Amino acid sequence: MTFATISYFSMATGDGWSFAHFVETERHAHADPTRHGIFRQVFWAHHVEWALTTPLIILNLAFLAGLSGAGIIIATVSDIIMILTGLFAAFGEHNGQKWGYYVIAWLAYLAVVYQLGVAGRRTVAAKGTATARFFFAIGCFTVIIWTLYLVVWALGDGRKLSVDQEIICYAVLDVLLMPIFGFWLLISYARSAEPVSVEGFWSQGLNREGAVRLDEENI
């Protein structure tokens, strides 16, 4: 929430944005095509904020699920790729660039969903029914909100939404994701009767990942 507050303060005071320039060709039935430049306002402060806050959300979910170190790294790197390609797409000069970055972002997003939704559900099952149910609920909530981000991004970069409409949509999604996610997590931790443990990379160390253990009889 601190990063989000700083981001919105910068945008409210006139910082954190720039213009992206596009050249659009308009074709006519009985005349030569005409070209005209379009300048669209891009609030890059959003992308900086998301690059800092969404990895923290992934870490919270990964710790809750007991995800392995490799899974945490893959999910976090994929998330950052998704955010950066969104920024690159916003400044893309033509549709081929924009939709190429959009496809890359979706592939990165699917990698995040796989690590949390498939690997995470598998590891959290060993922690108890209550923890598994909570992880499923908060994980589904997060995935739905993140999917809506991608939809708004596509509509905004496709110029189906005005800049004001795009910013309002992002503001609503930011409020739904960050404060609600944080308070839900804290309140559920406080009320949980099951101890929350951190497993995998953070408790066993990097050198334990992928190691093969041999008994003395096998040496």
Question: What single string gives the DSSP state of each residue in the chain?
Answer: -HHHHHHHHHHHTT-S-EEEEEEEEE--SSS--EEEEEEEEE-HHHHHHHHHHHHHHHHHHHHHHT--HHHHHHHHHHHHHHHHHHHHHHT-SSHHHHHHHHHHHHHHHHHHHIIIIIIHHHHHGGG-HHHHHHHHHHHHHHHHHHHHHHHHHHHHHTTSS-HHHHHHHHHHHHHHHHHHHHHHHHHHHHH-SSPP---THHHH-GGGTT-----GGG-
Q: How confident is the model at residue 205 (pLDDT cuts 50, 70, 90)?
A: very low
What is the per-residue pLDDT for 203? Answer: 47
Q: pLDDT of 23-43, one tens digit each?
A: 666 676 766 677 766 777 888
**Phi and psi of 25, rounded to 5°?**
-100, 125
In a domain, 147, yes or no: yes
The pTM of the full predicted model, rounded to 2 decimals, is 0.78
Question: In terms of residue numbers, what domain contains 78?
Answer: 46-192
Please tell me the total count of domains within the chain.
Answer: 1
- How buried is residue 206: exposed, middle or buried, by Cβ count under 10 Å (0-12/13-18/19+)? exposed
Residue 207 identity: N
Six-digit token string for 209? 């990942």
pLDDT higher than 50, residue 213: no
Q: How confident is the model at residue 81 (pLDDT cuts 50, 70, 90)?
A: very high
Please spell the DSSP secondary structure of 153-213, one letter per residue. Answer: HHHHHTTSS-HHHHHHHHHHHHHHHHHHHHHHHHHHHHH-SSPP---THHHH-GGGTT---
What is the per-residue pLDDT for 18? Answer: 85
C-alpha 17/C-alpha 51 separation (Å) is 16
In a domain, 164, yes or no: yes
Which CATH number do you get for residue 168?
1.20.1070.10
Q: How confident is the model at residue 217 (pLDDT cuts 50, 70, 90)?
A: low
What is the per-residue pLDDT for 3? Answer: 81
Least confident of 18-27, 113-122, 158-167: 18-27
In a domain, 200, yes or no: no
pLDDT higher than 50, residue 212: no
Q: Among residues 112, 46, 39, 25, which one has the least CA distance to residue 76?
A: 112
Average pLDDT, the chain: 81
In a domain, 77, yes or no: yes
Q: Among residues 98, 76, 75, 94, which one has the least CA distance to residue 85?
A: 98
pLDDT higher than 70, residue 194: no
Q: Among residues 62, 29, 85, 73, which one has the least CA distance to residue 135?
A: 62
Six-digit token string for 140? 């589904």
Say which residues have a Cβ less than 8 Å from residue 57's Cβ, sequence separation at least 6.
142, 177, 178, 181
pLDDT higher than 80, residue 77: yes
Report, as an integer, the average pLDDT of 58-73: 89
What is the per-residue pLDDT for 195? Answer: 54
In a domain, 201, yes or no: no
In a domain, 40, yes or no: no
What is the per-residue pLDDT for 54? Answer: 92
